[in-house]
Amino acid sequence: MHCRSYRRVVLAALLAPLAAAPVATTAAALPHNVILLIGDGMGMAHVEAARLYNGGPLPFESAPHQAQVVTDSYTSSLLGVPTDSAASATAISTAHKVHNTVVSVAIPGDGSEFETIGEFFTSKNKSVGLVTTSYLTDATPAAMAAHAVFRFDTARIVNDYLTRTRPAVLLGGGGNGLTEAAGVAAGYTVVTDRAQMQALAPAPGVPVLGLFGDGGEGMGFEWDYAEGTDTAYDTLPFLHEMTSTALSLLATDPDGFFLMIENENTDLAGHSSGAGEERIGRDVFAALELGRAAQEALAFAAGRDDTLVIVTADHETGGLQILADNGAGNLPTVSWSTSDHTRTQVGAWAFGPNADLVTGTIDNTDIRRIASVPEPGTALLVAGGVIALALRARRS
């Protein structure tokens, strides 16, 4: 009896401040909207190279809260190898470390599905959007809203998108398992070029699928277009244009949204070989384009206090080092140590509610926790407190 009443007092004391406190701290409520921008392979040196070419900071570098991010996967801790995009995107999306090539399922483990960040926000009645310059079935978008033991199981990923998780907005490269016909059959409005995309009017309840280009590694390098060696962006939308459309479509949901925006081209540039101008040019122009997409996100979030914007990378690619600043408008002199991923920590920049949790050195699994505070973060904290106090009560 004494024990039970003590517990009631303890519980009341623990919960009263939570219940009574207004939403004063930034971490007290789930952000209404979350915009997560990922530069695939975009280490800090890649951002620096873009800054030097730009002659000034990229839009997201003015973030009030910044951190270094550990990108290791389960495989990294076991074998010392860098993560791949599947494992790192799974960590970001689900807060779980998995083996390389695994997309949001428990490996190691029983192979069961982890709740993705897309599924989490869907469970809060929010709309989900995925935007990428890569093909839409690639590992980074897939880990946000699909599950697969192996990242190249595109049939499984397409099935999850179209029949299970059904993101409201999917904009990116086509092919690699995702066809126009499949999108139409699943009830999506399908667009295939910039003009069609920009003519879209929001239609509540009707999801949008933008398939830009028919496969390969993605939609094309921004550098190649600027150099006149590729004409893809004559008719296909740039990442910042897809971002703008995605924001205008998702903003019609009064319950809010989660939007992931990825530029794959920083990774593809890092993967190429040699030290020629093309490699760093492609890398710099991709980082600059991610900056333009971030600018769209920040313009959306400006003047409102309910939208968390996080810019980060899934890992570094290429072992990039800056050797000399050649001034604005000129590519810096650089060296590359590899044509693969590295374990170098990457950056994170954050604005809005919960952004203050992006500080110091964080783990890639923290991104999901920060984006979804107070759930499960605060709930776990409260549960831990209740258990600790109950144990004390039992002892007394």
The residue (of 140 and 354) whose beta carbon lies closer to Zn ion is 140
Q: What Rg do the C-alpha atoms of the chain give, in angstroms?
A: 22
CA triplet 267, 216, 279: central angle to 5 degrees? 35
Are 157 and 148 in contact, with CB atoms under 8 Å apart?
Answer: yes
| Residue 30 C-beta: closest distance to Zn ion, Å | 32
| Residue 129 C-beta: closest distance to Zn ion, Å | 23
Residue with tokens 């280490």: 43
| Residue 227 C-beta: closest distance to Zn ion, Å | 23
The residue (of 39 and 210) whose beta carbon lies closer to Zn ion is 39
Q: What angle do the packed helices 239-250 and 277-301 form, to 10 degrees?
A: 20
| Residue 365 C-beta: closest distance to Zn ion, Å | 20
Q: Of the candidates 119, 121, 120, which has an alpha carbon nearest to the alpha carbon of residue 161?
A: 119
The residue (of 101 and 245) whose beta carbon lies closer to Zn ion is 101
| Residue 210 C-beta: closest distance to Zn ion, Å | 23
The residue (of 33 and 312) whose beta carbon lies closer to Zn ion is 312
Round to whole Å and give the CA distance between 55 and 170: 33
Identify residue 354 by its one-letter amino acid code. Answer: N
The residue (of 341 and 368) whose beta carbon lies closer to Zn ion is 341
Round to whole Å and give the CA distance between 143 and 391: 39
Q: Return the SS3 of 394.
A: helix
What's 61's DSSP letter?
A: G
Lay out the site mask for Zn ion across 180-219 (x = CB under 5 A, - = otherwise): ----------------------------------------
The residue (of 224 and 267) whose beta carbon lies closer to Zn ion is 267
The residue (of 72 and 267) whose beta carbon lies closer to Zn ion is 267
Q: Of the candidates 245, 262, 89, 254, which has an alpha carbon nearest to the alpha carbon of residue 169?
A: 245
The residue (of 38 and 246) whose beta carbon lies closer to Zn ion is 38
Size of the site for Zn ion (CB under 5 A): 1
Report residue 190: phi and psi, to 5°.
-105, 130
Q: Of the candidates 139, 132, 91, which has an alpha carbon nearest to the alpha carbon of residue 114?
A: 91
CB atoms under 10 Å from CB of 90, counted, come to 38
Round to whole Å and give the CA distance between 291 and 296: 9
Reading the block at residue 244, the tokens are 């703008």
| Residue 101 C-beta: closest distance to Zn ion, Å | 12
| Residue 318 C-beta: closest distance to Zn ion, Å | 9
Are 304 and 29 in contact, with CB atoms under 8 Å apart?
Answer: no
Site for Zn ion in 242-271 (CB under 5 A): 267
| Residue 341 C-beta: closest distance to Zn ion, Å | 6
* Interface residue list for Zn ion (CB under 5 A): 267
